[in-house]
Amino acid sequence: DERMEARERGGREGGDDLRTLPTRLARSTAQARLEEAIATDTPFVERLVHFWSNHFAISGDTVVMRAHAGAYEFDAIRPHVLGKFGDMLAAVENHPAMLVYLNQNVSIGPNSRAGGRGAEGERRRGLNENLAREILELHTLGVRSGYTEEDVRELARALTGRTVGGRGPGRRDADPGEAAYVERMHEPGARTLLGRSFPDSGEQQAAAMLDFVAARPETARHIATKLARHFIADIPPPAAVARIERAFLDSDGDLPTTYRALIDSPEAWREPFAKFKTPWDWLVSAWRAAGPELELGRTRQILDQLGQPIWKPESPAGFGDTASDWAAPDALMRRVEMAQEIVRRIPDQTQPVRLGEQVLPGVLGDATRTQLSRADSPAQGLTMLLVAPEFLRR
């Protein structure tokens, strides 16, 4: 384990390895993510990984979070993409990255054994509602779905005790960076969520509440709407949403069954190019189409310049998923500039029209084909291909 090796070396060599560990972990996991996206022979599954990673968004914009962000996607998201929604929800909400990102590691029940004054007389921190709020608002039920502020507080009370070793009040209760449950931080008492009572069962209290909201009709509607918005259209077709929602509910949150309803929806195939590609989508499709040499450092810089840095959304809501988020004139100009850079890495003998027919079979429009054939040079034609309407959309 790279963390353990760095810890041991840090003790012998003045801690240099420990100080650089977050950056090295971020780079290695970002490299793995890019390589998988470009080389995968199951692109739909890979797209689902990115969808769920954005749905359960965290941000690696601090040193501490930088070390966790990549592991979070590989540990909590990928193993559950073809499983049950409830299992993914449980894995996500108990992962160190999510606990630290939303300050759950410092949340203490006011009436818990740890809720009084510390050994040195300092006042300990109290209840933090961040994780509970995002679970209900973003991860499960969705906004305006009927939950109340008291529901948020009740879930926050149940979540107390979940913390991370090395961080906050429970720092000595687990290895640094590992999730832990610390009983003395847990708020005692039964809880009520959406009218359902949950007995005081320690760590299992919050787990039962997560299972409860994972199976709610509001959650099914929220997930169905987001899937339809991501895969079908910016304005999700109501019939498709209803079909996906029903599949989710009837299968107890079985994700492959839910995806099948998405794929089988006629609305998913009715209008080609209904979705504008995000910077990540566009860059990965450009690499897959053109096959230039992959340089991680520059690729990450390109994504930064295009406004979608890897694992660094501006809020827990994740990156935007509609054309209005990515199709502004200045954003399109940046894509033209990045396309020119990518093309410089493509072999000169690559013919734009031939490549266009290869990567856009049956959908390369006559107008685009004509423009590519009239380009002054292969490089100009390839640049035009990468910013053609057919390539900018999916």
> Is 168's pLDDT higher than 80?
no
Instruction: pLDDT band for 210, please (50, 70, 90 cuts).
Output: very high
Torsion of CA 328, 334, 338, 343, to 10 degrees: 80
Q: Residue 172: pLDDT above 90?
A: no
Question: Does 5 score more than 50 pLDDT?
Answer: no
Average pLDDT score over the chain: 92
Q: Show me where the domains of the chain are located.
A: 2-214, 217-270, 279-392
Q: What single DSSP character describes residue 1? A: -
| Cβ pair 97, 58 in contact under 8 A | yes
How many Cα atoms within 13 Å fall on the side-chain side of residue 116? 4
pLDDT of 176 reads: 87
Mean pLDDT (whole number) for 177-181: 94
Sign for the CA dihedral angle at 51, 52, 53, 55 comes to positive
Determine which of 148-162, 212-226, 348-362 has the lowest per-residue pLDDT on average. 348-362
CB 352 within 8 A of CB 385: yes
pLDDT of residue 1: 52
Residue % of the chain over a pLDDT of 90: 79
- Of 49-63, 161-175, 191-205, 366-380, the poorest mean pLDDT is in 161-175
What's the one-letter identity of residue 172?
R
pLDDT at residue 346 is higher than 80: yes
State both tokens at 118: 């510390």
pLDDT score recorded for residue 13 = 43
Q: How confident is the model at residue 41 (pLDDT cuts 50, 70, 90)?
A: very high
79 pLDDT more than 90: yes
For the segment 144-163, the average pLDDT, to the nearest whole number, is 98
- For residue 298, give every residue at least 6 positions away whose Cβ sits within 8 Å of its Cβ, in sequence order, or none: none
Neighbouring C-alpha atoms within 13 Å toward the C-beta of 32 = 12
Report which of residues 13 and 189 the model is more confident about. 189
* Residue 33 predicted with pLDDT over 80: yes
Question: Which whole number is the average pLDDT over 315-325?
Answer: 98
What pLDDT score does 298 carry?
86
| pLDDT for residue 135 | 99
DSSP β-bridge partners for residue 393: 276
Element (H, E) at 149: helix 149-159
Average pLDDT of 283-307?
A: 87
Comparing 6-10, 302-306, 338-342, 375-379, the range with the smallest average pLDDT is 6-10
Q: Is the model's pLDDT at 2 over the cut of 70?
A: no
Residue 121 scores a pLDDT above 80: no
pLDDT at residue 345, as a whole number: 85
* β-bridge mates for residue 197, sequence order: 192
Tell me, what's the pLDDT at 124?
56
Closest of 71, 70, 64, 89 to residue 176, by C-alpha: 64
pLDDT reading at 125 higher than 90: no
Q: Return the residue matching tokens 């000595």.
A: 172
Q: Give the 3-state secondary structure of residue 163.
A: strand
Contact 233, 265 (CB under 8 A): no
- The band of 353, judged by pLDDT with boundaries at 50, 70 and 90, is very high
Closest-CA residue to 77 (of 91, 98, 96): 91
**What is the percent of the chain with per-residue pLDDT over 70, rounded to a whole number?**
92
Q: Is the pLDDT of residue 131 over 70?
A: yes
* 35 backbone φψ class: left, alpha, beta (φ>0; ψ -120 to 50): alpha
